[in-house]
């Protein structure tokens, strides 16, 4: 199992807990009002990596750190991830985020020990898994780096990211049917959009896994790397994204994500308006000038 050193800037943890909850969208949601990372997280390692030697911009990496449970997604794990993600999303020096696990498991699923005693009132009354969706609403790009098992809730969380990169050992699946339930964190919707109805239906009804190669050929993942190269290659991609203009990256993410929800003509209209708006930015002037002058662009 690889470990990533936690060398993010340290801050006092005395006032950095998740604040009291509030009602959002009909369920009890977490409020992430703190602007600082915790000094440490129980289930997460956070590190920052400079984009280049002469830049203050950074890529932030969040590594799930619950190895004995194969990074099963308990409420405490998700609280740690969401707290760190919200803080990093607001950090102006952070330009791209990575979410990863261990060599053995990105995340083997939701924590069944927490779910087994729940009844309908518990699940529906708290809108169980509803707060997970906050991960898909970050402004900055979020990459999932997947090795080993990526199952159930783990697969759903990976699909909430903007891009999935994986190693050859990765295995993806939605095996909830084996527990007498179905996916509840977006699996039936996001997987179907990613790989199509027939393959998605097969995975949800049989509970069988697919390999990294199958995931790539189906369009679920963007790239597949040898196991020992995954993190280096993911960092390279994240640093490439982080070197681009902030607003153009944000606009591209918004437009691509909207393609899953909008009719074609509405999506085309949104794309044009975002395209038009970037002509009001310094980065558009710098990017086009750099192209014509045959030099690297220095985006602000």
What are the Cα distances from residue 270, in Å, to 245, 250, 253, 256, 266?
Answer: 19, 13, 12, 10, 6
Nearest to 245 by CA among 90, 91, 140: 140
Catalytic residue among 8, 107, 110, 255: 110
The backbone torsions φ and ψ at residue 13, rounded to the nearest 5 degrees and listed phi first, read -100, 5
> Catalytic pick from 176, 183, 185, 271?
176
d(CA 9, CA 46): 10
CB-based contacts of 236: which residues, under 8 Å, 6+ apart?
A: none
- For residue 284, give every residue at least 6 positions away whose Cβ sits within 8 Å of its Cβ, in sequence order, or none: 245, 248, 278
Catalytic (active site) residue 176: yes
Question: What does the block give as tokens for 175?
Answer: 């095996």
Q: Which of 152, 153, 187, 245 is catalytic?
A: 153
Note if 110 is an active site residue: yes
Output the six-digit token pair for 19. 């604040």
> Rounded to a whole number, what is the distance in angstroms from the first to the last CA of the chain?
38
Contact (CB, 8 A) for 109 and 153 = yes
d(CA 157, CA 149): 13
Distances in Å between the Cα of 200 and the Cα atoms of 112, 172, 194, 209, 224 are 22, 11, 9, 11, 20
User: Is 153 annotated in the active site?
Assistant: yes
Secondary structure class of 176 (helix, strand, coil)? helix
Catalytic, out of 156, 185, 186, 212: 156
DSSP secondary structure letter of residue 227: G
Rounded Cα–Cα distance for residues 87 and 82 (Å): 9
DSSP assignment, residue 57? -
Catalytic annotation, residues: 110, 153, 156, 176
């Amino acid at each position: 199992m690889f470990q990533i050193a936690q060398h993010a800037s340290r801050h006092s943890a005395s006032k950095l807990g998740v604040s009291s909850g509030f009602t959002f969208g009909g369920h009890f949601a977490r409020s992430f009002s703190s602007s600082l990372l915790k000094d440490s997280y129980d289930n997460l390692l956070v590190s920052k990596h400079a984009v280049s030697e002469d830049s203050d911009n950074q890529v932030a990496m969040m590594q799930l750190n619950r190895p004995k449970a194969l990074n099963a997604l308990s409420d405490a794990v998700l609280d740690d991830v969401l707290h760190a993600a919200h803080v990093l999303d607001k950090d102006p020096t952070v330009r791209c985020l990575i979410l990863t696990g261990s060599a053995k498991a990105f995340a083997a699923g939701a924590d069944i020990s927490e779910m087994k005693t729940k009844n309908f009132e518990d699940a529906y009354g708290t809108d169980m898994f509803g707060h997970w969706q906050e991960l898909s609403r970050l402004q900055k790009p979020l990459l999932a780096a997947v090795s080993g098992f990526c199952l159930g809730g783990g697969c759903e969380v990976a699909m909430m990211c903007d891009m999935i990169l994986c190693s050859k050992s990765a295995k993806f699946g939605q095996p909830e049917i084996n527990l007498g339930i179905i996916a509840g964190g977006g699996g039936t919707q996001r997987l179907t959009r990613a790989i199509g109805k027939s393959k998605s239906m097969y995975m949800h009804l049989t509970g069988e896994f697919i390999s990294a190669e199958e995931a790539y050929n189906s369009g679920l993942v963007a790239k597949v790397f040898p196991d020992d190269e995954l993190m280096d290659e993911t960092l390279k991609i994240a640093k490439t994204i982080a070197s681009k203009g902030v607003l153009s990256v944000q606009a591209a993410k918004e437009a691509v994500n909207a393609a899953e929800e909008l009719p074609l003509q509405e999506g085309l209209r949104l794309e044009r308006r975002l395209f038009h708006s970037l002509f009001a930015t310094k980065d558009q002037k710098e990017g086009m000038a750099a192209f014509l002058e045959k030099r690297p662009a220095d985006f602000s």
